[in-house]
């Protein structure tokens, strides 16, 4: 028995020996690099940019093929300039200051007309949504004037205002005014009345109710109207510049058509599209800054 105890003590290692033979803990995986973490966090935005770049590349490729092979299947591409022709025209236009003067004048007109429209349409829409009598007075007149296109306003605007510059700004103002007004009205109609009653029960005044309830609830619709109004403002501006303007990107495009410079026509059209895209993007950016709760 003593021999068996000795042998069992030899076979069973002491506690210290068992602790030393325990397997070591697995090393923690390395943390990803900051650039990789940022890419994972913004993978949705990166995907949208890549898909958009592929879409633009496909559009340019289709444009190149249609103009290179002079496709004539009901829609005629025989006289349409190719992307290479437009690029060469852009190099020539960018070498002088005249093209950038046209762009600057159009941007100035858009800024004046759009800001005037927003400054008038947003408060008016809020008040019309709050006070029924005001809506009954103003809404029928706005619905009669709203379907009139910008081109139809050009002769009247020339008679109303002393200079062409003021008449063009007025037409731009009309183009953006009605979309902003209607979207603001729609936003006021969707405000939850429970929130309004809760504010009143807490002792909020009419001004505080507008500031704390109506305006935050209506902001998404207001910015939708601002975005749509900016697009309509560019349409109205180009129509006015083509008819009665002497400067601006619309006048540049119409003058290129009169001089049979087809590549300059396409250059003017692309410039209008890029300017409209940039202005709409700026409005969306301001909306995200003012409404972080609706960023998604």
Would you list the DSSP string of 41-57? HTHHHHHHHHHHHHHHH
| Residue 19 predicted with pLDDT over 90 | no
Mark whether 110 and 41 lie in a shared domain. Answer: no
Mark whether 132 and 49 lie in a shared domain. Answer: no
Could you give the count of Cα atoms lying within 13 Å of 143 in the half-sphere of its Cβ?
Answer: 7
Please, are residues 119 and 181 in contact by the beta-carbon 8 Å criterion?
A: no
Per-residue buried b or exposed e for 67-102, using 16+ beta carbons within 10 Å of the residue's own CB: beeeeeeeeebeebbbbebbeebbeebeeeeebeeb
Please check whether residue 2 lies inside any domain of the structure. no
Mark whether 56 and 98 lie in a shared domain. Answer: no
Mark whether 49 and 86 lie in a shared domain. Answer: no
Tokens read off for 169? 């700004």
The count of other CB atoms within 10 Å of the CB of residue 120 is 14
Count: domains in the chain: 2
| Residue 15 predicted with pLDDT over 80 | no
Mark whether 154 and 60 lie in a shared domain. Answer: no
| Residue 238 predicted with pLDDT over 80 | yes
| Residue 294 predicted with pLDDT over 80 | no
Residue 27's pLDDT band (boundaries 50, 70, 90)?
A: low
pLDDT digits (tens, 9 = 90+) for 148-194: 988 899 889 989 999 889 999 999 999 999 999 999 999 999 898 89
CATH number at 221 reads 1.10.3720.10
Range list of β-strands (E), the chain: 72-73, 75-76
Residue 183's closest CA among 116, 113, 231, 122?
122
Mark whether 229 and 177 lie in a shared domain. Answer: yes
Please, are residues 180 and 218 in contact by the beta-carbon 8 Å criterion?
A: no
Please, are residues 93 and 208 in contact by the beta-carbon 8 Å criterion?
A: no
Mark whether 38 and 73 lie in a shared domain. Answer: yes
Please check whether residue 93 lies inside any domain of the structure. yes
Whole domain around residue 97: which residue ranges?
82-294
pLDDT digits (tens, 9 = 90+) for 79-99: 889 999 999 999 999 998 999
Please check whether residue 24 lies inside any domain of the structure. no
Please check whether residue 15 lies inside any domain of the structure. no
Of 48-52, 83-87, 217-221, 262-266, the poorest mean pLDDT is in 48-52
Tokens read off for 94? 């960018």
Average pLDDT of every residue of the chain:
86
Residue 291's pLDDT band (boundaries 50, 70, 90)?
A: confident
Per-residue model confidence (pLDDT) at position 4 = 47
| Residue 224 predicted with pLDDT over 60 | yes
Per-residue model confidence (pLDDT) at position 72 = 87
Per-residue model confidence (pLDDT) at position 21 = 53
**Residue, of 128 and 293, whose pLDDT is higher:** 128
Per-residue model confidence (pLDDT) at position 173 = 95
Please check whether residue 257 lies inside any domain of the structure. yes
Tokens read off for 296? 């998604």
Mark whether 119 and 222 lie in a shared domain. Answer: yes
Please check whether residue 12 lies inside any domain of the structure. no
**CA–CA separation, 160 and 154 (whole Å):** 10
Mark whether 155 and 235 lie in a shared domain. Answer: yes
Please check whether residue 184 lies inside any domain of the structure. yes
Please check whether residue 128 lies inside any domain of the structure. yes
Per-residue model confidence (pLDDT) at position 5 = 45
Please, are residues 231 and 276 in contact by the beta-carbon 8 Å criterion?
A: yes
* Percent of the chain predicted with pLDDT > 70: 88
Mark whether 212 and 109 lie in a shared domain. Answer: yes
Element (H, E) at 143: helix 132-145
Per-residue model confidence (pLDDT) at position 229 = 94
Mark whether 176 and 217 lie in a shared domain. Answer: yes
Mark whether 264 and 144 lie in a shared domain. Answer: yes
Q: Which of 53, 80, 107 corresponds to the end of one domain?
A: 80
**Residue, of 70 and 28, whose pLDDT is higher:** 70
Per-residue model confidence (pLDDT) at position 46 = 82
**Residue, of 10 and 288, whose pLDDT is higher:** 288
pLDDT digits (tens, 9 = 90+) for 111-161: 999 999 999 999 999 999 989 999 999 999 999 999 998 889 988 998 999
Residue 103's pLDDT band (boundaries 50, 70, 90)?
A: very high
């Amino acid at each position: 028995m003593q021999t068996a105890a000795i042998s069992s003590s030899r076979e069973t290692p002491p506690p210290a020996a068992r602790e030393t033979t325990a397997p070591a803990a697995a090393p923690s995986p390395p943390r990803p690099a900051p650039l990789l973490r940022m890419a994972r966090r913004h993978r949705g935005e990166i995907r949208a940019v890549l898909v958009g770049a592929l879409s633009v590349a496909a559009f340019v490729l289709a444009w190149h093929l249609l103009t290179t092979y002079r496709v004539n299947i009901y829609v005629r591409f025989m006289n349409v300039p190719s992307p290479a022709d437009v690029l060469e025209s852009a190099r020539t236009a960018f070498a002088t200051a005249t093209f950038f003067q046209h762009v600057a004048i159009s941007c100035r007109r858009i800024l004046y007309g759009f800001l005037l429209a927003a400054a008038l349409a947003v408060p008016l829409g809020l008040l019309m949504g709050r006070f029924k009598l005001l809506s009954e007075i103003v809404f029928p007149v706005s619905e009669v004037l709203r379907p009139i296109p910008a081109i139809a306003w050009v002769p009247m605007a020339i008679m109303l205002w002393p200079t062409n510059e003021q008449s063009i700004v007025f037409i731009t103002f009309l183009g953006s005014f009605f979309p902003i007004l209607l979207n603001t009205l729609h936003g006021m109609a969707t405000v939850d009345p429970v929130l309004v009653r809760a504010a009143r029960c807490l002792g909020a005044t009419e001004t505080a109710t507008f500031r704390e309830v109506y305006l935050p609830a209506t902001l998404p619709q207001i910015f939708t109207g601002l975005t749509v109004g900016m697009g309509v403002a560019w349409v109205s501006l180009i129509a006015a510049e083509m008819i009665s303007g002497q400067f601006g990107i619309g006048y540049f495009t119409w003058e290129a058509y009169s001089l049979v410079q087809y590549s300059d026509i396409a250059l003017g059209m692309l410039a209008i599209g890029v300017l409209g895209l940039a202005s709409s993007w700026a409005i969306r950016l301001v909306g995200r800054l003012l409404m972080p709760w609706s960023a998604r």
